[in-house]
Amino acid sequence: MATSEDDEPTTPELPEERLEESQPQCPFGVGGSCCRICYMGPCRVSDGAHGMERGVCGATPGTVAARNVYREIASGAASHADHAREIATVLAEIADGELSAYDIADPEKLRTIAADLGLDAEGDVSAVAEQVAEAAIEDFQEGGETLNWLDRMPDEQREYLAKQGIEPLPSADKEVARAMHRTTQGNDADPKHLLTGAVEAGLTDGYAGLTMGTDLQDVVFGTPQPVQTEADLGTLREDAVNIAVHGHSPVLSEMVVKHANELEDEAIEAGADGINIVGICCTGNELAERQKVPLAAHSSQAELAVTTGALDAMVADIQCIWPGIGDVVECHHTRLITTVDYVRIPGAEHVSFDPETAAEDAEEIVRRGIAAFGDRHSRQDYTVEIPDRTTDAMVGVSDDFVLNVLESANPENPSRPLVDAMEAGDLNGIVGIVGCPNPKMRTADMTEILIEELLAENVLPVVTGCIGHITAQNGYLDPAMTDELAGDGLAAVLNDLGEAAGLDGPLPPVWHMGSCVDNSRIGNVVRAISEDAGVPTRELPVVASAPELIAEKAVSIGTWALALGLPLHTAPTLHMDHSEEVTRIMTEDLKDITGGFAIQEEDPKAAADAIASALDDRRTALFEEA
Ligand code: BF8
């Protein structure tokens, strides 16, 4: 952290300032053509005017960029698979009666998943849970013939890819290991072949990561239904013990919420008016959709939350916890508490969280927050400045909810209301706007402009991850904004669906579908429409967009969308600009392989135009053929 000459901490910089300081950034890193996988380099290669044409080993810019992007995807798949493995293990232990703190909240969903996996869905819930957990854990082991969770994929697209030899390995762990091996120095060097492998890793991410994660979290913690909550830093309360839960896993955060409720009296004894749990990044989305917990901040605002002076504890588990927070808490009373033994952050204290001792561990965490509240109040000169900003947000628009509403509107043919609206031009398509808040794009209001442009064009945005926070903070998740923001056709569709759902008004202009693993919910809606309407996913007017891409996880999610045959927009552009070959494969050649293709556009209005035009092409082709 920044220190003065006498080593007193000075005000730490926030992400925007650090970004400024990082300029100019290395063009080879940005262009994807810096190769540092061996010790003859690093080699900086490029098809353009600068750099070498070949690395010391002879690797072309295409080989280097393809290997780099494949490694990003493997890392993303590893992250989501590890996330899914945790909840699979919890489910197995619940089924065995070994965990007292957790239960099965949605047995019906458990049976639906079991049936989709071809397992016995009838009988005792524990027996079904045991089989489902076994099938999940098998997806991380050697031995199976195929990845079990691929049964959750649209059959038609699965067969289409299989005919071209695209099928992930039966073990997610092996898929990730194979990706690392294939991309090592002196191994697979053919850009197209490497990128086909990357698509397989994307499928691993989509099914043994995202879909398994959401499926089992819904089983254990409940399937979300729409609820109203609030968003932004104004959800912190000066007189409360404020505990922010940051990261990704409800296995931890659900327990923090439960035990905060039980320890309210201790907080009141300490002089607070209660305990206020707020959510940051994807944990925020998980808790909002199931527990109505306020969406306080996206990942790049986490440090800002500490600077309010009101945050007593920030509890972190896995992924997207920026280490800069460690510097910021040094200047405040806030306790940064890490909980996962393989994730430590300088400046944090650690409480090892174990599902087997969940109650004691969660109580310990909450009590540290209460103690920090005491520290805050014992400091005479301590100032608290909470921004006076909150917005109303409807969250929890889950796949189950959406599909039930469609079914109630047209029981015979649930996709009909959407397909008819597309044919009539009232709904010009659906765009999954997912991922992160990148400071590079934040200053340009990338997400806001993109979404407002698309809404005006009667395109329905469905969102997850930190984009969920950005949209909540802008009021886009508020049903009261539907008629103002959506084009006339889309507004009519949202009003009709709101009525079919039995709500008092329309559905919100933007649908919050949850955390980043909950991108699987978008996949499930796409699958249901595809199967019901008999249209392959690669022909549906659906696009994916990560308009403020940060994480490797977002690249792997995007690659899963490409595998489903969807166009994928990203900003910033993927790390591939220095290779004409890789750029061509991703933006053109892939159309003949999966049906998907990459759209690279960093200007929000131009991105909205490119997405709308991709949707138009698909709608025209669909209804002309029909
Ligand atoms: O997994 S949106 S910054 S929090 S990577 Fe991370 Fe990006 Fe936020 Fe959730 Ni997703």
Closest atom, ligand 1, to C-alpha of 285: 9
Residue 307 sits in the same domain as residue 346 = yes
How many angstroms separate the CA atoms of 370 and 554, rounded? 35
Q: Which of 167, 190, 221 is the last residue of a domain?
A: 221
Instruction: Domain of residue 81: give its range.
Output: 43-221
How many angstroms separate the CA atoms of 109 and 411, rounded? 20
Residue 342 sits in the same domain as residue 288 = yes
Ligand 1: residue whose CA is nearest its atom 5: 551
CATH number at residue 599: 3.40.50.2030
| pLDDT value of residue 307 | 97
Task: Write out the E strands in 505-594.
Answer: 511-512, 542-546, 567-570
Instruction: Please give the distance, rounded to the nearest whole angstrom, from the Cα atom of residue 130 to the centre of ligand 1.
Output: 31
How many angstroms separate the CA atoms of 236 and 163, rounded? 53
Q: Is 463 part of any domain?
A: yes
| pLDDT value of residue 532 | 94
Ligand 1: residue whose CA is nearest its atom 1: 516
Closest atom, ligand 1, to C-alpha of 281: 4
Q: Is 590 part of any domain?
A: yes
Q: Which of 221, 246, 281 is the last residue of a domain?
A: 221
Backbone dihedral region of 462: left (phi > 0), alpha (psi from -120 to 50 degrees) or beta? beta
Ligand 1 mutation target, pool 343, 434, 516, most atoms within 8 A of CB:
516
Enclosing H/E stretch for 241: strand 241-246
Q: Which of 183, 200, 221 is the last residue of a domain?
A: 221
Ligand 1: residue whose CA is nearest its atom 3: 436
| pLDDT value of residue 576 | 96
How many angstroms separate the CA atoms of 122 and 119, rounded? 9
How many angstroms separate the CA atoms of 189 and 35, rounded? 13
How many angstroms separate the CA atoms of 212 and 218, rounded? 10
Q: Is 104 part of any domain?
A: yes
Q: Is 563 part of any domain?
A: yes
Our CA angle for 384, 467, 322, nearest 5°, is 55
How many angstroms separate the CA atoms of 418 and 408, rounded? 13
| pLDDT value of residue 134 | 98
Residue 268 sits in the same domain as residue 119 = no
Closest atom, ligand 1, to C-alpha of 515: 9
Give the dihedral sign, CA 416/419/424/425. positive
* Strand order through the sheet with 511-512: 511-512, 459-463, 429-433, 542-546, 567-570, 597-600
Residue position matching structure tokens 């994730």: 343
Residue 187 sits in the same domain as residue 315 = no
Residue 244 sits in the same domain as residue 373 = yes
| pLDDT value of residue 322 | 98
Instruction: Please give the distance, rounded to the nearest whole angstrom, from the Cα atom of residue 109 to the centre of ligand 1.
Output: 26
Closest atom, ligand 1, to C-alpha of 553: 5
Q: Is 14 part of any domain?
A: no
CATH number at residue 193: 1.20.1270.30
Q: Is 66 part of any domain?
A: yes
- Cα–Cα separations (whole angstroms), residue 427 to 422, 423, 456, 608, 616: 5, 8, 11, 15, 11
Residue 272 sits in the same domain as residue 418 = no
Torsion, CA 528, CA 533, CA 535, CA 540, rounded to 10: -70
How many angstroms separate the CA atoms of 339 and 360, rounded? 13
Residue 54 sits in the same domain as residue 185 = yes
Let me know if 257 is exposed, middle or buried by CB neighbors in 10 A (0-12, 13-18, 19+): buried
Ligand 1: residue whose CA is nearest its atom 7: 436
Residues with CB under 6 A from ligand 1: 248, 281-282, 299, 319-320, 435-436, 465-466, 515-516, 550-551, 553-554
Residue 398 sits in the same domain as residue 347 = no
Residue 456 sits in the same domain as residue 517 = yes
pTM of the model: 0.97
Instruction: Please give the distance, rounded to the nearest whole angstrom, from the Cα atom of residue 33 to the centre of ligand 1.
Output: 25
Residue 166 sits in the same domain as residue 92 = yes
Closest atom, ligand 1, to C-alpha of 464: 2
Residue 158 sits in the same domain as residue 192 = yes
Q: Is 561 part of any domain?
A: yes
Residue 527 sits in the same domain as residue 606 = yes
> SS3 breakdown of the chain: % helix, strand, coil, rounded to 5?
50, 10, 35
- Distance, CA of 470 to chain centre: 13
pLDDT lower than 50: segments of the chain: 1-5
Q: Is 228 part of any domain?
A: no
Instruction: Please give the distance, rounded to the nearest whole angstrom, from the Cα atom of residue 281 to the centre of ligand 1.
Output: 6
* Strand order through the sheet with 295-297: 349-350, 335-338, 313-316, 241-246, 275-280, 295-297, 227-231, 391-395
Closest atom, ligand 1, to C-alpha of 298: 8
Enclosing H/E stretch for 338: strand 335-338
Q: Count the domains in the chain.
A: 3
| Closest alpha carbon to 616 in 429, 488, 433 | 429
